[in-house]
Amino acid sequence: MNDESDQSPKDRIFDLRDGDESITDILQRIERLNAIGIALSAERDVNRLLEIILLGAKELTNADAGTMYSVTERKTLKFEILRTDSLGIAMGGTTGVTINFPELPLYKDGEPNLQMIAAFAALTETTVNIPDAYEAEGFDFSGTRAFDQKTHYRSKSFLTVPLKNHENQIIGVLQLINAKNTKTKEIVTFSPQSQNLAESLASQAAIALTNQKLISDLKALFESFIQAIASAIDDKSPYTGGHCHRVPVLAEMLGHGVNDANTGAFQDVRFTDDEMYELKIASWLHDCGKVVTPTEVVDKATKLETIFDRVNLLDSRFEVLKRDVEIGFLQQKIALLESGAQARIPALEEELRQELLKIDADREFIRETNIGGEFMSPERQDRIRAIAKYRFIDSKGEERPLLTDNEIYNLNIPRGTINPEEREIINNHVAATIKMLDAIPFPKHLKRVPEIAGGHHEQMNGKGYPKGLTGAQMSLQARMVAIADVFEALTARDRPYKKGKTLSASLQILGFMMKDGHIDPDLFKLFIDKRIYLEYAQEYLAPEQIDEVILEKIPGYVP
């Protein structure tokens, strides 16, 4: 165990009193240390970062083997990466080979585990340099001996270095095994220069790992916040629940489809990881402006719904109307009896029966119309106006029309349950989305999130909203979110005025929208060519929605 705490790592790197290396050799290793440090600061992938640390340390110290441990919240050391060159062992990191070794406990029965060298280094925050493990005292090398016996290896020199972050917390341990003489390849003790280089690398590595963890934690916090907003919007209305979660799925599928395209319009287009992440975040936030949309508009499940469904009021009026008709009948019947014209009563009764049947039929028509649908014909709208001409006597004894102007207006909504004024309120959610996102200081790699999220109701022909952008004025990602938004809405099963459409029906509508200049034709073709619709359907659609799709029947699609 070496203790040279009176010297800084930088000073000790140049201490040659115990080594046979030249200044040139050490300067070359310092140059390599600097290069490794630069690589550490640029690497974002944690697994690759850990590999750079371990492989760099092995290179700097000419070690045959090495292990990277991380300190867990369970107060253990977890194997992250393991390498032994002479045995051809490469586990953990980017290798894809899982390390199944049990974690090393830092404490046993509540007491510090000072018998295991890696745990000792972590607990005491001390570098341990052992010339020969088989001759060392005070440490338990039984596991090492068992490994050697099984693999015919000879673990000899050990250099174990703790990694301390900026808060003076030990976050990991770097262990190097069997330093080799650069000329004879003989196993030797790790020199003071090697120890100093390893400690310097460990210091840089701790900073890099801490920075990466901070970035990862901030990213996780950011995404959780975004998803919480999306969940709140979905929860705001039981009729669009899940929309904000499903649109990102479709958008990312399209993104991967573009990246995988080897022919066609996107064969030369490749999204970077940052651009894919930008697409993901924008998709999650595309409807964030709905937080300002009134609930009574978002939740308008029927045409007559405000705070409550007014169709029940109309039911009461129909009952009053029937009462008035029956009172009129009884008055006429009495008059006939008094005048001795009883023979005319059967015809009067038949008129009453027919009138009541007509009123019941009109009431049922109102109930059916109130639900909304994909299309309401002019003939049906005329019938609403005719029904409105019924007159009834209210509780004040005043004669009133059966339907108010507002009720006629809403019942004659041609598509869905939303009237034009309410549609304008809902459409305003895009402008609200852009306003909200423009106010957020997104980092450079997310600068286009407001444009992507705010463009999902724009159209290729410039007839969309809120800005009336053409396809050429929209980013490719914005056009992707637009298709994702439409297809999710078509197939959604939770809308108040319609059932979720089948795949074939949805693709037919999507085809007509493409021909009318609403959506990007190249993305539409990719959506079908790559079977993205089917990949999505198998996870999110009901079995009865997944019907046979005949590609030749999709409008505008050319295989």
9-214 and 237-295+427-553, same CATH topology: no
Residue listed under structure tokens 């998803």: 227
Residue with more model confidence, 499 or 239? 499
Fold of 9-214: Beta-Lactamase (3.30.450)
User: Using 50, 70 and 90 to split pLDDT, how confident is the model at 495?
Assistant: low
Domain locations in the chain as residue ranges: 9-214, 237-295+427-553, 311-417
Distance CA 314, CA 321 (A): 10
**Half-sphere exposure for 534 (CA within 13 Å, toward CB):** 10
CA pseudo-torsion sign 272, 277, 279, 282: negative
Write down the pLDDT at residue 42.
67
Question: Which long-range contacts does 531-534 make (Cβ < 8 Å, 24+ apart)?
Answer: 532/250, 532/253, 532/254, 532/257, 533/487, 533/503, 533/506, 533/507, 534/503
Mean pLDDT of 353-378: 91
CA distances for 291 relative to 285, 298, 434, 482, angstroms = 11, 10, 13, 20
**Residue pLDDT, tens place only, 148-190:** 999 999 999 999 999 988 788 899 999 999 999 988 899 999 9
Judge whether residue 265 has pLDDT over 70: yes
DSSP 305: B
b/e per residue 295-327 (b: at least 16 CB within 10 A): eebbebbbbbbeeeebbeebeebbebbbeebee
For 246, the enclosing helix (H) or strand (E) is helix 243-260
CB 83 within 8 A of CB 55: yes
SS3 429: helix
Distance separating the N- and C-terminal Cα atoms of the chain: 72
Write down the pLDDT at residue 124.
95
User: Shortest CA distance to 449 belongs to which of 248, 215, 209?
Assistant: 248
**Residue pLDDT, tens place only, 78-96:** 999 999 999 999 999 888 8
Rg (CA), the chain: 38
Distance CA 76, CA 98 (A): 18
Judge whether residue 252 has pLDDT over 70: yes
As assigned by CATH, the class of the 237-295+427-553 domain is mainly alpha
Choice among 18-27, 294-303, 371-380, 460-469 with the minimum mean pLDDT:
18-27
Q: What is the pTM of this model?
A: 0.67
Distance CA 352, CA 130 (A): 109
Choice among 162-166, 403-407, 436-440, 551-555 with the minimum mean pLDDT:
162-166
Write down the pLDDT at residue 543.
94
**Residue pLDDT, tens place only, 20-61:** 556 767 677 777 777 777 777 766 777 788 888 888 889 889
Judge whether residue 468 has pLDDT over 60: yes
Highest mean pLDDT among 6-15, 231-240, 329-338: 329-338
**Residue pLDDT, tens place only, 307-359:** 778 888 899 999 999 999 999 999 999 999 989 888 999 999 999 999 999 99
Other Cβ atoms closer than 10 A to 202: 21
Write down the pLDDT at residue 17.
40
Write down the pLDDT at residue 26.
66
482, two tokens: 């637009």
Supply angle C-alpha 463, 466, 469, rounded to 5.
50
Average pLDDT over the chain, rounded to an integer: 88
User: Using 50, 70 and 90 to split pLDDT, how confident is the model at 16?
Assistant: very low
